[in-house]
Amino acid sequence: MVKQQYDANLLPDMLPIYYTRHFPQKIFCRWLAYGCSPQPLSNREMSFTLADDVYLRYLSISNQKELQELLQKKCPYKLDIGAVYNTKPSVGRHNAVVLARELVFDIDLTDYDEIRTCCQEAKVCEKCWLFMVIACEIIDKTLREDFGFQCILWVFSGRRGIHCWVSDYEARILDSPGRGAIASYLCLIAGGENQSKKVHLGNENLHTSIRRSLNIIDNYFEQLLQEQDFFATSEGLNAFLKLIPDETLRSQVAKKLEKLPQSSLERWTSFVSTYEAYCRENGNAMRKLKYLTEEIKIQYCYPRLDVNVTTGFNHLLKSPFSIHPKTGKVSIVFKSSNVKNFKLDEVPTINTLLDDMSTDSSVHQNNMKEAVKTFQEVVFLCEKTEAMRKRNNANTSIEF
Amino acid sequence: MNLNIKRRSTKSLTTGSLIETYPHDLQLYKIPPIDNISLQEFESLALERLNLLRCLATATTLKNLRPYSNEWREYIITELRNKGLKYYAKLCDKSACGNTEMDLQARRKDHIAHFILRLAYCRTEELRRWFIARELELFRMRFMTMNTESVDTFFKLNNLCYLNIPDEEKNNIIHYLRESTAYQNVDNMKFYKVKFYEVLDLVKLRKVYLHGGYAYIPHKDFVSVLSAQFRVHLKQSLAVACHHLGEIEQDERLVSLLKSLHQTYTGNDYTNTKAIIPIESLDSLSVKSFPLCMRQLHEQLRMAHHLKHLGRLQYGLFLKGIGVTLEDSLRFWREEFTKIMELDKFEKQYAYNIRYNYGKEGNKKNYSPYSCLKIINSPVGAQDCSGCPYRHCDVSNLKNKLQGYGFDPQTVHDIVDITKKGHFQVACSKYFDAVHNIDLGLGINHPNQYFEESQKYLKGEIKIEPKKENNSIPKESITDIHEMDLDEIVEG
Ligand code: SF4
Ligand SMILES: [Zn+2]
């Protein structure tokens, strides 16, 4: 048996079958409706990207039957999901008011290009996927523990990133400043291309959430150092040295590291001991450089969010189980607790799903099933919390 | 809002009922006033509060003071005293619950004035945003200076009850509270639990401990909760006010007052100047002492021998303000305009307007030169040269212009950068510094003030160490009018 190559030209033939047989239409509709609160399913905007890059906005459906019809008629290459409006989006268009929208996060590996050494731009491999693992764990924990959100859906973007959809009622109706505040709470890396050091933690106590994130980073830091080998090349080493603001310390470190073998792990250990010794001798530096190692770890590991996606109230985001037209991969849903075991080449693609004979078929079929199941679980949780919220509301309003 | 405007003020409320209405210096402005006030009081209350709010804005944008810092507050309070707004100075200094007649009157004015400004500032999104931002600053500043006792009373009076968390719960999380709260002696503080979205400003800066969707805040941070509520309330009220404007605005005089309030200039109006500036010096003055808006009008006039109506007004009044006499002014415009038109046409169509500016025609009003605020807010057509260049020019045009004047790239970049952020008058002040090669950081709010400051500096009335860097302005353009031979020109 030959491993079938994915061929985008076959999409028009494959998509109708995929949408009918594999796309979890029913559960998808239930997800977007949330028990009709605050508005019916038909007020939710969807958009399609068609074969020739034609972009259809302001679509909407009222039930699964309409979804199936629309999918068959238009055969979209890509599916995006927008906000819930006060009226049917096709009617209201620009005047419609956004009433609700999941709180979303978009993390893309291209934002890691300045630090990842294995791939650049559209490329990804198992090594750089580790960045996504760390990002997912940190964001998931923060959302659950700090903000108390429960209905959190994690989705593979189809190529080189991940999306997170928070569906708790409070998150869905949060306004733009609220979303902005959460995004800033989560952002630790700031500054453009002309700024080397992008993380500044000050010298007071570290916030609980930052400590927790650092603990997560520590679980992966050594592995990342070994795989990415950040400081092996002279370029990488220079970039690293630029992060040390204190000149004396910087030249000390530079001298030490030059003599060492190129392994990043060894170089890092040596840096840490030099830094610690330096701080012991020099109380003043200690105060200024209090969190230098933490700052550097964060710069090399911490999630790099696309803040605009999170802040915007009506940003469109690729739907779960949409096909990535360039890779043929399905945007599968996964569990954050299981993100460590996520394997890029085990992500189902449209052709393996449709071709029972392909080598990867059984693994892919299985993973697709798992993904749908995970999706289902989240949707059930959403419905349950929504029902509870309504009951509580009813109770409190009786009191008055 | 239910304000009856009377020609003359009827009796004011008695002290007794004032105590009930205004028990505390700090108000949430939930209930509109129902006083009878005279149109005159209406107007002066409006202007006084406008002055107050502008004072806050100046402290932040022009003086570059950190909001809510001690210097910021001190600047504002001194400024208020200087402007004769003692009652606001007092309200801002330390909010409390005294009940002298003076306290009560101050609160009444504060109350009414706030509602008048709501009417004036509900008209457009831009005005609303400005107003909300200033009122919020004011509220925060006043809340933050209250002592614990006044805070307690404030909470009681406004029915704000929050329960602090029990000691046991606090002890369980004390470690996290210490880590994540931005204060030192957390152990002695009482903590309260509010939803995270009630204190977004603290969340944003990661200055609060969050758990399970709740923020744990000490008493001090309640200002965040309150200002968030205040903001929401104000935003809604402004939207409602905007809707009902029609009903309120039956009185012609009120309409025009409310409509133009935000453009009212509250400083010196430069209507009467004592200096006399000969028109022969305008070319050189335009380079060294004019703000960019006037320099550009002057250059346009010299180049095209013509200016459109608004430009003539803006520039003509400015010239009057710096001390160009009517006769000179007529001569000046005539010389330019007649290069492209017959003298007859000029006399018929344009001379009238110039005499009008000087109050010699029409209703004989002595018009004041435009302030920055008015210029910045005035509509400008595509071909016009009037307006404020920082506000009305494309960034690329502005850049070219500044480069053309020979400023070094860094200066040009700085000015353009500030302009992009929307701080037009700060950009103007930077331009001032660049032209004079100093680092003064003036607050510019009137083109004529710009001119006077420049003259003062050039005459040596302001002593500042010049910046050490290279001179970016061509030397020959810096000549002082006092070195010129004026004999032949002064007689007009
Ligand atoms: S800020 Fe004022 S003085 Fe400066 S250019 Fe603009 S309008 Fe003229
Ligand atoms: Zn890679």
- Per the domain annotation, does B469 fall within a domain? no
Please, what is the angle between helix B101-121 and helix B125-144, to 10°? 160
Quote the DSSP letter at residue B164: B
User: Cβ–Cβ of A170/B180 closer than 8 Å?
Assistant: no
Ligand 2 centroid distance, CA of A235 (Å): 18
Element (H or E) spanning B310, and its range? Answer: helix B309-322
User: Cβ–Cβ of A148/B180 closer than 8 Å?
Assistant: no
Biggest distance spanned by C-alpha atoms of chain A: 76
B204 vs A contacts (CB less than 8 Å): 180-181, 184-185
Q: In which domain, by residue range, is B213 found?
A: 163-221
Q: Which amino acid is at A378?
A: V
Ligand 2 centroid distance, CA of A116 (Å): 7
User: Cβ–Cβ of B203/A181 closer than 8 Å?
Assistant: yes
- Per the domain annotation, does A1 fall within a domain? no
Higher pLDDT, B213 or B362: B213
Beta bridge partners of B215: B194, B210
Q: Do A171 and A230 belong to one domain?
A: no
Q: Do B361 and B330 belong to one domain?
A: yes
Whose tokens are 């306290």? That residue is B103
Residue of A nearest to B198 (CA): A178
- Cβ atoms of residues A1 and A306 within 8 Å: no
- Per the domain annotation, does A386 fall within a domain? yes
Classified as helix, coil or strand, B245 is helix
- Per the domain annotation, does B272 fall within a domain? no
Last residue of a domain, one of A301, A324, A346: A301
Q: Do A296 and A314 belong to one domain?
A: no
Q: Do A219 and A342 belong to one domain?
A: no
Last residue of a domain, one of A301, A319, A337: A301
> What's residue B402's pLDDT?
92
Q: Active-site residue among A80, A108, A229, A386?
A: A108
Q: Do A260 and A153 belong to one domain?
A: no
- Per the domain annotation, does A297 fall within a domain? yes
- Per the domain annotation, does A203 fall within a domain? yes
- Per the domain annotation, does B149 fall within a domain? no
User: Cβ–Cβ of A205/B178 closer than 8 Å?
Assistant: yes
Q: Do B291 and B432 belong to one domain?
A: yes
Those residues with Cβ within 8 angstroms of residue A162's Cβ, 6 or more apart along the chain or in another chain: A107, A132, A135, A136, A154, A155, A156
> What's residue A170's pLDDT?
92
- Cβ atoms of residues B121 and B238 within 8 Å: yes
Q: Give the CA count within 13 Å in the CB-facing half-sphere of B187.
A: 1
Classified as helix, coil or strand, B191 is strand
> What's residue B249's pLDDT?
61
Q: Percent of chain B scored above 70 by pLDDT?
A: 85
Question: Smallest Cβ distance to A146: which of B179, B204, B210?
Answer: B210
Q: Do B21 and B132 belong to one domain?
A: yes
- Per the domain annotation, does B478 fall within a domain? no
Q: What is the pLDDT of residues A3-13, one digit of tens each?
A: 557 888 889 99
Q: Do A14 and A105 belong to one domain?
A: yes
ipTM comes to: 0.92
Q: Do B89 and B188 belong to one domain?
A: no
DSSP B283-306: HHHHHHTS-HHHHHHHHHHHHHS-
**Least confident among A34-43, A208-217, A220-229, A309-318:** A34-43
Question: Smallest Cβ distance to A178: which of B197, B213, B214?
Answer: B197
For residues A373-395, give the mean pLDDT.
Answer: 90
Q: Which ligand is nearest to the CA of A110?
A: 2
User: Between A and B, how many residue pairs show a Cβ–Cβ distance under 8 A?
Assistant: 53
Q: Do B19 and B97 belong to one domain?
A: yes
| Number of domains, chain B | 3
Ligand 2 centroid distance, CA of A229 (Å): 12
> What token pair was written down for A310?
């999170």
Q: What is the pLDDT of residues B283-341, one digit of tens each?
A: 889 998 999 999 999 999 998 888 888 889 899 999 998 988 888 898 899 989 988 88
Q: Do A102 and A117 belong to one domain?
A: yes
- For residue B85, what is the domain's CATH number? 1.20.930
- Per the domain annotation, does B50 fall within a domain? yes
Q: Do B111 and B252 belong to one domain?
A: yes
- Give the torsion sign (CA, A60, A66, A71, A74): negative
Last residue of a domain, one of A274, A301, A328: A301
Best residue among B268, B372, B376 to mutate for probing ligand 1's pocket (most ligand atoms within 8 Å of CB) is B372
Q: Do B353 and B326 belong to one domain?
A: yes
- Per the domain annotation, does A206 fall within a domain? yes
- Kindly report the nearest CA distance between residue A399 and chain B, in angstroms: 19
Q: Do A355 and A316 belong to one domain?
A: yes
Q: Is the pLDDT of residue B79 over 50?
A: yes
> What's residue B480's pLDDT?
35
Classified as helix, coil or strand, B122 is coil
- Per the domain annotation, does B465 fall within a domain? no
For residues A235-251, give the mean pLDDT.
Answer: 92
Residues 124-183 of B with CB under 8 A from A: 176, 178-180, 182
Q: Percent of chain A scored above 70 by pLDDT?
A: 95
Higher pLDDT, B165 or B469: B165
Classified as helix, coil or strand, B36 is strand
| Catalytic residue status for A53 | no
Q: Do A290 and A350 belong to one domain?
A: no
B232 vs A contacts (CB less than 8 Å): none
Q: Is the pLDDT of residue A214 over 90?
A: yes
- Cβ atoms of residues B428 and B372 within 8 Å: yes
Q: Do B109 and B203 belong to one domain?
A: no
CB of B230 less than 8 A from some CB of A: no
- Kindly report the nearest CA distance between residue A201 and chain B, in angstroms: 11
Per CB distance under 8 Å, which residues of A are interface residues toward B? 145-149, 170, 174, 177-178, 180-182, 184-185, 204-211
- Kindly report the nearest CA distance between residue B411 and chain A, in angstroms: 20
| Catalytic residue status for A45 | yes
3-state helix, strand, coil in chain B (%, to 5): 60, 5, 35
Ligand 2 centroid distance, CA of A370 (Å): 25
> What token pair was written down for B267?
């400083």
| Number of domains, chain A | 2
Beta bridge partners of B12: none
CB of B8 less than 8 A from some CB of A: no
Q: Do A19 and A147 belong to one domain?
A: yes
Whose tokens are 């032209």? That residue is B435
Q: Which ligand is nearest to the CA of B375?
A: 1
- Cβ atoms of residues A90 and A99 within 8 Å: no
Give CA–CA dist A293/A277, Å, rounded: 13
Length of chain A in terms of residues written: 400
Q: Do A57 and A205 belong to one domain?
A: no
Classified as helix, coil or strand, B318 is helix
Q: Do A279 and A321 belong to one domain?
A: no
Ligand 1 centroid distance, CA of B272 (Å): 20
- Per the domain annotation, does A3 fall within a domain? no
User: Cβ–Cβ of B211/A146 closer than 8 Å?
Assistant: yes
Q: Do A176 and A220 belong to one domain?
A: no
- Per the domain annotation, does B299 fall within a domain? yes
| Catalytic residue status for A108 | yes
Q: What is the pLDDT of residues B2-38, one digit of tens each?
A: 455 544 433 444 555 788 888 888 888 988 888 778 8
The phi, psi pair for B371, rounded to 5°, reads -85, 165
Q: What is the pLDDT of residues A88-142, one digit of tens each?
A: 888 766 677 888 999 999 999 999 998 999 998 888 999 999 999 999 999 999 9
User: CB B208: neighbour CB atoms within 10 A?
Assistant: 26
Q: Do B135 and B81 belong to one domain?
A: yes
Q: Do B55 and B176 belong to one domain?
A: no
> What's residue A302's pLDDT?
97
- Per the domain annotation, does A67 fall within a domain? yes
Q: Is the pLDDT of residue B469 over 50?
A: no
pLDDT-based confidence at residue B376 (cuts at 50, 70, 90): confident
**Least confident among B89-93, B215-219, B282-286, B318-322:** B89-93
Residue bearing the CA closest to ligand 1, atom 3: B447
- Per the domain annotation, does A336 fall within a domain? yes
Q: Is the pTM of this model over 0.90?
A: no
> What's residue B474's pLDDT?
35
**3-class secondary structure per residue, chain A:** CCCCCCCHHHHHHHHHHHHHHCCCHHHHHHHHHHHHCCCCHHHEEEEEECCCCCEEEEECCCCHHHHHHHHHHHCCCEEEEEEEECCCHHHHHHHCCEEECCEEEEEEHHHHCCCCCCCCCCCCCHHHHHHHHHHHHHHHHHHHHHCCCCCEEEEECCCCEEEEEECCHHHHCCCHHHHHHHHHHHCCCCCCCCCCCCCCCCCCCCCHHHHHHHHHHHHHHHHHHHHHCCCCCHHHHHHHHCCCCCHHHHHHHHHHHHHCCCCHHHHHHHHHHHHHHHHHHCHHHHHHCCCHHHHHHHHHHCCCECHHHHHCCCCCEECCCCECCCCCEECCEECHHHHHHCCHHHCCEHHHHHCCCCCCHHHHHHHHHHHHHHHHHHHHHHHHHHHHHHHHHHHHHHHC
Answer whether the bond into residue B218 is a cis peptide, omega within 30°: no
Q: Do B448 and B315 belong to one domain?
A: yes
- Per the domain annotation, does B463 fall within a domain? no
List the Cα angle B96/B99/B102 in 5-degree steps. 95
Q: Do B182 and B287 belong to one domain?
A: no
User: Cβ–Cβ of B213/A148 closer than 8 Å?
Assistant: yes
- For residue A326, what is the domain's CATH number? 3.90.920.10
Q: In which domain, by residue range, is A296 found?
A: 193-301
Give CA–CA dist B339/B331, Å, rounded: 13
